[in-house]
Amino acid sequence: MKATNYKLTKYTCFFVFPTLAPVFILPPILFVTFRQMYGISYTLLGTLVLVNFCVQLGVDLLCTFFSKYFDHHRSIRAMPLLTSMGLVLYGLVPWLFPQYAYVGLLAGTIVFSFAAGLNEVFLSPTLAALPSDNPERDMSVLHSLYGYGCAAVAVLSTVFLKVFGSENWMYLVLIWAILPLVAFVLFAVAPLPKIITAPVSSQRSAKRKRMGLVLCAICIFLGSAAENTMTNWLSVYMENALQIPKILGDTLGLAVFALLLAITRTVYAKRGKSIYPVLLAGMAGAVVCYLAAGLSRAAGVAMAACMLTGICTSMLWPGMLLFMEEKFPSPGIAAYALMAAGGDLGASVAPQGMGIVVDTISVSQWAAALGAQIGLSQEQIGIKIGMLTAAIFPLIGIAVLLYLKRFFSKTA
């Protein structure tokens, strides 16, 4: 019997991941345009980001508890089409919802966020189920391509808006919607492997596995928090706290961060051997970077710290997936869904938490007094304190990782 050739499947998975980059990168780039053209408040624009992650989190939780009711093959094949449909709905707002632009943006966000949630749950286990000489390398390459996609979307979208004008933003979104359609066609013809929904195990083994998975999910929550807090606040920090022009903050800052994220994952794919020390070093490095960003008065040092966070946090999400697969071979869809839920929760809670810290500190008398002494505005003090507060996530992550090692050494 001839073995199935999964080469097309592997490369389709590699192609799909970067096609999701517009879902996360485009909205923040277009927020100022939406505010100027449609008068949408910053609060409502921020709600779009919250809805994005909440929908993904909802999909993750549904798959965690009801994974046996999801058809893996249909879900993975439908996911790129839903991504494209959401982006098309987003781009057609000026024609379909001329008087109710926010309704159209919200509808598009819900659709492509649902697709992104399916991607997080099903794409990694699909790749992991493919025959491979080096599955760790494949998983790292998969996640590195997302970083390259983010960098490309940030740079190319900014250039497009500069050349053709922000009033033509809808054509930019429709152009990016083409890529998921290509992925949909590729998945339609590519063979898909069988995925274990929930492996059968003894009661004692199942209890140990649940505890181990919960610890891994906590760790991926903390790693995602460390990564996404910087992703969401890097542009604002450079513009307001470091007084760097917005176009540099949006392109150079975000693009370099995403590029370093991707390059580090690529390097691990080629040379990485043991993921645990990489995770520990990444958490420790993120603590140092956040402290440097919050404490440094030199703009160059603070800017470098923000960018270097991309290296430190690069493996914290995909690396925890590798760590989970190492401890629990063939973990099942529910395990990947739980990990995705932890990551999405960190990506939504941590940036929002930093926003609360910044707003609270910025209006305090303490910030006014300190700012007067060192020559900074209250807002600058608030953002810097927010950066210092964000260091808590990777700091706790170090403690959880140390406990994880002890937990698995005891239960080996």
CB-based contact 195:63 (threshold 8 Å): no
The whole-model pTM stands at: 0.81
pLDDT at 182: 94
Alpha-carbon distance values, 290 to 71, 343, 356, 366, 379 (Å): 42, 19, 17, 21, 17
CB-based contact 276:401 (threshold 8 Å): yes
Q: Which residues contact 232 (CB under 8 A, 6 or more apart)?
A: 28, 49, 351, 354
pLDDT tens track for 71-103: 788 888 999 999 999 999 999 999 998 888 999
Separation of alpha carbons 160 and 59, rounded Å = 33
At 81, which amino acid appears?
L
Alpha-carbon distance values, 404 to 40, 219, 273, 297, 399 (Å): 45, 9, 19, 37, 9
At 269, which amino acid appears?
A
Backbone φ and ψ for 196, nearest 5 degrees, come out as -75, 125
- Given pLDDT bands bounded at 50, 70 and 90, which one contains residue 40? confident
Instruction: State the first-to-last Cα distance of the chain, in angstroms, to the nearest integer.
Output: 38
pLDDT at 202: 45
pLDDT at 1: 42
Biggest CA-to-CA distance, the chain: 78
- Given pLDDT bands bounded at 50, 70 and 90, which one contains residue 200? very low
Structure tokens at 378: 């209250």
Separation of alpha carbons 133 and 203, rounded Å = 32
pLDDT tens track for 162-185: 889 989 999 999 999 999 999 999
Q: Which residues contact 149 (CB under 8 A, 6 or more apart)?
A: 17, 18, 19, 20, 21
pLDDT at 197: 59
Average pLDDT of the chain is: 85
Query: Which domains can be identified in the chain, with CATH numbers?
Result: 9-195 (1.20.1250.20), 199-407 (1.20.1250.20)
pLDDT at 56: 87
